[in-house]
Amino acid sequence: MQLNFWFFAIAIAYIVLWKVDLFASLWNMKSLGSGIPEEFRDLIDPDTYERSQEYARAKAVQAIGQSSFSLIVLFVFWCLGGFGFLDEKVRAFVGEGGPILAGVVYVSILIVLVGAVQLPFSWYDTFILEEKFGFNRTTFSLWIGDLVRAAAISFVLGIPLLALLIWLFQATTLAWVWCWLSVVTFSLLLSYVAPSWILPMFNRFTPLPDGSLRSSIRALAEKCDYQIEEVSVMDGSRRSAKSNAFFTGFGKRKRIALFDTLIEKHTEPELLGVLAHEIGHSKRHHIGKSFLWATLSTGGLFYLLSLMMENRGLFDAFGVRETSIYVGFVLFAVATAPVRQIFSVAGNALSRKHEFEADAYAAEVTGDAKSMSEALRKLSRDNLSNLTPHPFYVFLNYTHPPVVERIRAINRSVR
- The predicted-structure confidence for 214-225, as pLDDT tens digits, reads as follows 899 889 988 998
183 contact partners, CB below 8 Å, separation of at least 6: 161, 165, 298, 302
Which one of 318, 339, 360 terminates a domain?
Answer: 339
Residue 151 lies in a domain: yes
Distance CA 392, CA 105 (A): 40
Q: What percent of the chain has pLDDT over 70?
A: 98
Task: Report whether 287 contacts 250 (CB < 8 A).
Answer: yes
Q: Among candidates 199, 175, 379, 347, which has minimal Cα distance to 273?
A: 379
Instruction: Give the per-residue pLDDT at 187.
Output: 92
Give me the amino acid identity at 112. Answer: V
Residues 160 and 276 in one domain: no
pLDDT at 36 (0 to 100): 93
The sheet carrying 231-234 orders its strands as: 205-207, 231-234, 255-259, 245-248
Q: Is the pLDDT of residue 1 over 80?
A: no
Question: Does 338 or 28 have the greater pLDDT score?
Answer: 28
Question: Residue 310: its pLDDT value, please?
Answer: 79
- Is residue 402, in this structure, part of any structural domain at all? yes
- pLDDT value of position 249: 65
pLDDT of residue 66: 96
If one counts the domains in the chain, the total is: 2
Q: Is the pLDDT assigned to residue 252 strictly greater than 70?
A: no
What distance in Å separates the CA atoms of residue 415 and residue 273, rounded to the nearest whole number?
18
Q: What is the pLDDT of residues 329-379, one digit of tens each?
A: 999 999 998 888 888 999 999 999 999 999 999 999 999 999 999 999 999
Residue 346 lies in a domain: no
Q: What is the mean pLDDT of residues 30-45?
A: 90
Does the pLDDT value for residue 233 go beyond 70? Answer: yes
Full domain range(s) for residue 158: 5-201+288-339
**What is the model's pLDDT at position 243?**
86
Structural Rg of the chain based on CA atoms: 24
pTM of the prediction? Answer: 0.90
- Looking at 276, 304, 339, the residue that finishes a domain is 339
pLDDT band of residue 415 (cuts 50, 70, 90) is: low
Q: Report if residue 408 sits inside a domain.
A: yes
For 118, phi then psi, to 5°, come to -85, -20
pLDDT at residue number 167 = 96
Closest by CA to 60, choosing from 28, 87, 20, 37, is 28
Q: Are residues 79 and 186 in the same domain?
A: yes
Domain finish residue from 339, 374, 404: 339
Inside any domain, residue 345: no
Q: Is 49 a domain residue?
A: yes
Residues 185 and 311 in one domain: yes
Say how far apart CA 153 and CA 9 lie, in whole Å.
35
pLDDT of residue 254: 67
In a shared domain, residues 280 and 310: no
Asked if 60 and 161 sit in the same domain, the reply is yes
Report the pLDDT value the prediction gives residue 229, as an integer from 0 to 100: 72
Whether residues 182 and 239 fall in one domain = no
Q: Is residue 75 part of a domain?
A: yes
Query: Shortest CA distance to 99 belongs to which of 165, 1, 182, 172?
Result: 165
369 & 404 share domain: yes
pLDDT, the chain, mean: 92
Residues 374 and 330 in one domain: no
Residue 194's pLDDT band (boundaries 50, 70, 90)?
Answer: confident
In a domain, 344, yes or no: no
What's the pLDDT score for residue 308? 87
Same domain assignment for residues 326 and 374: no
Predicted confidence (pLDDT) at residue 73 exceeds the cutoff of 70: yes
Residues 168, 121, single domain; the answer is: yes
DSSP 183-225: HHHHHHHHHHHIIIIIGGGTS-EEEPPSSHHHHHHHHHHHHTT
Q: Do 100 and 12 belong to one domain?
A: yes
Same-domain check for residues 361 and 393: yes
Mean pLDDT of 285-294: 90
Cβ pair 243, 210 in contact under 8 A: no
CATH number, position 232: 3.30.2010.10
